[in-house]
Amino acid sequence: MTILNLFKIGIGPSSSHTVGPMIIAKNFTTLIKEQNYFPNITRIKIELFGSLGTTGIGHQSDIAVLLGLLGEHPKTIDTNKIEEFILNIKNSLTIKLLNEKTINFSIKDDLILHQRKSLPFHPNGIKLSIYESKEELFSKIYYSIGGGEVLSEEEINNTFNKKDITLPYSFSNAKELLKQCKENKLTIAQVILENEKAYRDEKQTKESLLEIWKVMQTCVNNGLNSDGTLPGGLNVPKRAYKIYQKLKDKRTIDPLAFVDWINLYALAVNEENASGKRVVTAPTNGAAGIIPAVLHYIVNFLVNKEDKEKVIIDFLLTAGAIGLLYQRNASISGADVGCQGEVGVACSMAAGAMAEFLGGTIEQIENAAEIAMEHNLGLTCDPIGGLVQIPCIERNAMASMKAVNAARMALNGNGMHYVSLDLVIKTMYATGKDMQNKYKETSKGGLAVHYVEC
Ligand code: SF4
């Protein structure tokens, strides 16, 4: 229930398929070292199941796992060295676990992407096994459950026995969150800031949020200044650089010119993500452009310099509050509930936070978040070639504008509305569970199969 689990600094192109698998591989390798298996290991085998197996290559899950075995972490890895690390493994036919223990390794035989097998708990399952000659020494199953969050099989079983952290203003749904705000005369941002004190002091929370914002800024800036073609074989040209060249010195009286900028910020982030560069999950990598796009719009166009820090912190706290509701009561994984759980959730988070910035009441904020999700219900995940490019990049731009629109619609009402945020979250989850697997990050349906390369 901490918002810092929703905003993680990592690398592209996918939080569930790149960030999660890298963390899993690093956790497993650290564990086997701690358990003193290193002297005896002669082989390590990694199996990717479900959505990780079917779209793992396009989402670079295979590369992520190898990097994790080397001891790399998504937050700290030097993204310019990834190619060199992978080439070393390929050419030497060895891998140096945690940069310490070298064993033979064949990507073809030891890294298996199952196309038709899944593990029971979640579509993104990974099994890692170690051997001494042919005898299995140890194995463990993990799941990458969305937004870079990972769980081992034991953690799933122990979840309900875990000692709960007591939050000063606990809530399990939007209705309870609003009740806490009203009873204690606090804004949503203030409730979250108080609750985050259960994990760290206020200063640290604020510093972490500003660090997250800094990474978002760097990501936008890198995207705006990076021309060329996206990797992966589809040869999709990057657009942010060219649009930026057009917009940056343009004087215009077009009142809708800000739309171009919001689109541009989202394209910049998602092109960086598709290029495997550093991004912040917000709440996932596939949907990483929406919150930074709306926040860049606010910071660059709508606030004074002296107010910026508070605006940024309150925006991320409010967006985080809404994200927590989805994480707790539904899912933020495209493999679990389709793109409504990624782009839909990010849109809802950004809409609520934008409404907060515009001075909305807590009811209007809840309404904005609800409107944004209501019009993303049923959104499928069907990335062409298993790459987080088409429709993902453009979809972030569309959803960023949808978030702004939802906030403005909510601000023009009085907060009263028929469908509550809790109901729309419940509906999103039920819709996702009803959705056929081919529309849930498998690249077996929708655009992914109807697109034919000429
Ligand atoms: S379609 Fe949506 S959920 Fe699927 S990979 Fe793209 S952004 Fe993620």
Is residue 392 lining ligand 1, measured as CB closer than 6 Å?
yes
Instruction: Answer yes or no: is pLDDT of 202 > 90.
Output: yes
- H or E segment and range at residue 238: none
- The Å distance, Cα 66 to ligand 1 centre, comes to 23
- The Å distance, Cα 303 to ligand 1 centre, comes to 32
31-40 long-range contacts (CB < 8 A, ≥24 apart) are 31/140, 32/97, 32/130, 32/138, 33/97, 33/98, 33/100, 33/101, 35/138, 37/130, 37/137, 37/138, 38/97, 38/100, 38/101, 40/132, 40/137
3-state secondary structure of 58: coil
- The Å distance, Cα 212 to ligand 1 centre, comes to 22
Q: Is 309 exposed, middle or buried (0-12, 13-18, 19+ CB in 10 A)?
A: middle
- The DSSP result for 86-101, as a single string, is HHHHHHHTEEEETTTE
- The Å distance, Cα 334 to ligand 1 centre, comes to 6
The preferred substitution site among 51, 332, 339 for testing ligand 1, maximizing ligand atoms within 8 Å of CB, is: 339
Is residue 13 lining ligand 1, measured as CB closer than 6 Å?
no
How many Å separate Cα 440 from the centre of its chain?
A: 15
Domain layout of the chain by residue ranges: 14-161, 174-450
Cβ atoms 76, 99 nearer than 8 A: no
Atom of ligand 1 nearest to the CA of 284: 8
Instruction: Answer yes or no: is pLDDT of 437 > 90.
Output: yes
Per-residue pLDDT tens digits for 245-283: 999 988 899 999 999 999 999 999 999 999 999 999 999
d(CA 83, CA 79): 8
Task: For CA atoms 62, 66, 72, 73, give the dihedral sign.
Answer: positive
Return the minimum-mean-pLDDT range out of 45-54, 101-110, 248-257, 281-290.
Answer: 248-257
**Residues recorded for the chain:** 454
The preferred substitution site among 392, 394, 435 for testing ligand 1, maximizing ligand atoms within 8 Å of CB, is: 392
3-state secondary structure of 306: helix
Task: For CA atoms 93, 89, 383, 235, give the dihedral sign.
Answer: negative
Is residue 363 lining ligand 1, measured as CB closer than 6 Å?
no
In angstroms, what CA-CA distances link 247 with 176, 250, 262, 393, 398? 44, 5, 12, 19, 18
- The Å distance, Cα 214 to ligand 1 centre, comes to 24
Instruction: Answer yes or no: is pLDDT of 454 > 60.
Output: no
First to last CA, the chain: 47
Is residue 390 lining ligand 1, measured as CB closer than 6 Å?
no
Res 158: pLDDT: 72
Is residue 383 lining ligand 1, measured as CB closer than 6 Å?
yes
d(CA 368, CA 427): 16
pLDDT-derived band of residue 162, with 50, 70 and 90 as boundaries? low
Cβ atoms 103, 41 nearer than 8 A: yes
CATH of 14-161, one of 3.30.530.20, 3.40.50.10540, 3.90.1150.150, 3.30.1330.90: 3.30.1330.90
Cβ atoms 46, 65 nearer than 8 A: yes
pLDDT-derived band of residue 159, with 50, 70 and 90 as boundaries? low
pLDDT-derived band of residue 365, with 50, 70 and 90 as boundaries? very high
Is residue 57 lining ligand 1, measured as CB closer than 6 Å?
no
Cβ atoms 230, 389 nearer than 8 A: yes
